Amino acid sequence: MATPADETVIEVRNVSTRFGSAVVHDDVSLAVRRGETFALAGGIGCGKSVLLREIIMLQQPNAGSIRVFGQDTQRISEEEALNLRRRWGVMFQRGGLFTSLTVAENVGLPLREHTQLSDGLIDEIAALKIALTGLPLSAGAKYPEELSGGMRKRASLARAIALDPELLLLDEPTTGLDPLSAAEIDELVRGLKQSLGLTIVMVTHDLDLLWRLADRVAILGYGPMLGIGTMDELSRSDNPIIHQYFYGPRGRSAREQAWKQK
C-alpha cells in the first residue's frame, strides 16, 4: 500500500509537443511525488515552461498523457477541470498580476472566483497571505507597478497560495532578481513548503536554486529528456550536455557553494 510520500501527484507519460516542424518534447515521461520539490531545468528554449503550461491545462501536447491527482487532464469535464485547478496555485514568470488591481485585490481574486466567502473574510485572508510571503501590510493597497521586482514575485506567490493549494507551480521564480532578492525567494519558498505541506514543481535555470531547493530535477533537452534524479546524481552524469550544464563556471560555483552548506 502506497504511503502519502509515495503518492504520484503528477504523471507525464510519453509526451510529445511540436510547433510546426519544431519538436519541443519528444517522448518525455516523469512523475512528481507528493511532498517533494521537483524542478524542470535545461537550456533556454528546451520547453520547460511549455511543459508546465501543459500540466496546468493551458495547452495540450500533441501526443502522450498527463495526469494530475490521478485525473487525465485531456479527458475530464469542465467541472472536473475547475475542481482540479482549485487544488493548485501558479506563480507565473512575469507575475501575471492584474495591473488595474491592487495587490490585495489580486490576491483576493481567486477567492472571489472560486468561493462564496464574504468580502470581509476574503480581505482578511488576502491580508494573511500577503503577510505569509513577507510583504508589509501596506503593500496590499499598492498596485503592481509600484512594487520592486522582488515584491511583485512575493505578491504573485501570495495569490498562488490564496486557495490553500496542495500543489504549487513556479515558473522561473528568481528570474530578474538580484542575488540577495533571489536568495530571499528561495528561503520563502522553502518555508512555505514546510508550513503548508506543499508539493512544488518549479521551472528554473537558476543553479543555486536547484542545489538549495530541489529534491529531484528533470533536465530537458531539445526534444528528449536528458536525465532525471537528485542534483548529486545528475552532477555525476556521463551525458556530455548534462556534464556541461553542471561543470561550466556557474555550475561549478553553485555546486561548490551547495556542498559547503551541507
No. of helices (H) and no. of strands (E), the chain: 10, 10
Low-confidence ranges of the chain (pLDDT < 70): 1-5, 95, 248-262
Amino acid at 212: R
- Cell 508589509 belongs to 136
Grid cell digits, residue 35: 511532498
Grid cell digits, residue 222: 531539445
What is the model's pLDDT at position 43?
85
In sequence order, the β-bridge partners of residue 167 are 88, 199
Q: Under a CB-based contact definition with an 8 Å cutoff, are residues 77 and 54 in contact?
A: no
Q: For residue range 200-233, what is the model confidence (pLDDT) as tens digits?
A: 999 998 888 899 999 999 999 999 999 999 999 9
What is the model's pLDDT at position 260?
55
Q: Under a CB-based contact definition with an 8 Å cutoff, are residues 154 and 188 in contact?
A: yes
Q: Under a CB-based contact definition with an 8 Å cutoff, are residues 225 and 28 in contact?
A: yes
Cα–Cα distance measured from residue 58 to residue 51, given in angstroms and rounded to the nearest whole number:
10
Per-domain boundaries in the chain = 4-87+165-261
User: In 10 A of CB 159, how many CB atoms?
Assistant: 28
User: In 10 A of CB 101, how many CB atoms?
Assistant: 14
Nearest to 186 by CA among 13, 199, 175, 196: 175
What is the model's pLDDT at position 2?
47
| pTM score of the predicted model | 0.90
User: In 10 A of CB 253, how many CB atoms?
Assistant: 12
- Burial group, residue 43, by CB count within 10 angstroms (0-12, 13-18, 19+): middle
Cα–Cα distance measured from residue 238 to residue 197, given in angstroms and rounded to the nearest whole number:
35
CATH of span 4-87+165-261: 3.40.50.300
Nearest to 140 by CA among 150, 128, 149, 148: 128
Grid cell digits, residue 212: 538549495
What is the model's pLDDT at position 110?
95
